Amino acid sequence: MTQLIQAKKGIITEQMKKAAKKEKISAEKLAEKIAEGSVVLPANKNHKKLSPYAIGAGLTTKINVNLGISEDCPNYELEIKKADLAEKLKAHAVMDLSCSGDTRPFRRNLIEHTSLMVGTVPVYDAENLGKELPELTEEDFLGMLKTHAEDGVDFVTLHAGITKNVLAHMKPADRIMPIVSRGGAVIAEWMDITGKENPFFANFDKVLDICLEYDVTLSLGDACRPGAVHDASDSMQISELIVLGELTKKARDAGVQVMIEGPGHMRIDEIAANMLLEKKLCHNAPFYVLGPLVTDVAPGYDHITSAIGGAIAAASGADFLCYVTPAEHVKLPDLSDVKEGIIASRIAAHAADLAKHVPGADNWDKEMSIARSNLDWKKMLELALDPEKPGKMREESMPRDPAVCTMCGKMCSVNRTNRIKEKIK
């Protein structure tokens, strides 16, 4: 049985107990949220090393780290190092987005290697089956999903909502960038060439059967997400979201866990409304967002544009942030890019948890503030989200008085007020 089916039956699984402990809530309360669909607990029965996390309403905001090889950068060893870095920096999931060659050996290795949740996009295997795109059958697409499920993937992105009716909105929507989703573009082109309906939409019952067998969580992909701020909140995006809401109900009724993927590129003033719309149309399913990136003009700094949007999105109801690195729109990220992306996303997630008043979220900030008030540098570095960077900065610029820093020196306001406090005592 899936986590959802067991939750509906009142069965508390080991995965629920472990995830609930991390959230500092009761397993029974978590099971209630899973049963109603506002929380998912991705946990493929074949991912033996998994340390489970729950994603959704009332919980801490989770972050995902993308990795995987491309045709031009086929270094699997480096991608494993990225997974290790993600675990070290306290991410919650990794997605293998490998899109070249035989992806299965690396995927299996990754799942055996990491305790983080693992996601994939099965349709990325479409061009590696030894067939041209028009030759692929509906069974081929379902076979990709089956293979990934067998290998132990905890959640899969399926672009099941980009139907013929949704594609009909492309021309009237007047988009600058009609489809920026790789998987969505594959499905759209296959539909255009063959004249057939989206294979995942047309065979959604078979999709659910596969997910049920392995307890794979569906991450219903936003093939029509905006890839430019100009394109956000248009008819193409919203029409797909309506379809995803319908598929959410079908999946839940079958006992399959579901979360929804969202934008994309979007102006700041549109973010909160989009979060509300997703929750309404998709029956309060957990929302997984890429960014949103709040401007299109910052290549090389898109971890920042994404963190701004991610903080607003999560504070407005998003539950799961997909990190963006400085390399977005430019190249496959290296390890330093990955680190910058993770840190930016973790800052956004924690800032949102503070705004949402997630129980216990502000304890960390209080501890840091107390350490600063006491000029306790050792404690400050221990509490830092990334201790290495501030530690190195301090070593490189040590003041004459080790109690303070080189910004203020004798002018340190904290040092002065501490002396006043001592007199008051």
Q: Binding site for Zn(2+), residues? A: 265, 329
- Annotated binding-site members: 66, 95, 124, 159, 181-183, 222-225, 261, 265, 288, 329, 405, 408, 412
Query: By C-alpha distance, which of 328, 336, 321, 267 is closest to 301?
Result: 328
> What residue type is 338 in one-letter code?
V
Radius of gyration of the chain (CA): 23
- Annotated binding-site members for [4Fe-4S] cluster: 405, 408, 412
Residue 301 burial by Cβ neighbours in a 10 Å radius (0-12, 13-18, 19+): middle
Give counts: helices (H), strands (E), the chain.
19, 10
DSSP code of 135?
Answer: G
- Phi-psi region for residue 424, left (φ > 0), alpha (ψ -120 to 50) or beta? alpha
The CA dihedral of 144, 146, 148, 151, to the nearest 10 degrees, is: -140
Residue 78 burial by Cβ neighbours in a 10 Å radius (0-12, 13-18, 19+): middle
In whole angstroms, what is the distance from residue 92 CA to residue 65 CA? 8
Query: By C-alpha distance, which of 282, 182, 268 is closest to 225?
Result: 182
End-to-end C-alpha distance for the chain, whole angstroms: 62
Under 8 Å between Cβ of 281 and 319? no
- Annotated binding-site members for substrate: 66, 95, 124, 159, 181-183, 222-225, 261, 288
Contacts of 170-179 with C-beta under 8 Å, sequence gap 24+, read 170/236, 172/235, 173/231, 173/234, 173/235, 173/236, 175/226, 175/228, 175/230, 175/231, 175/234, 175/236, 176/227, 176/228, 176/230, 176/231, 177/226, 177/227, 177/228, 177/231, 178/236, 179/223, 179/224, 179/227
Under 8 Å between Cβ of 169 and 235? yes
Structure tokens at 188: 């759209």
Q: How many CB atoms lie within 10 A of CB 188?
A: 21
106 membership: H or E segment, kind and range: helix 104-113
In whole angstroms, what is the distance from residue 306 CA to residue 319 CA? 15
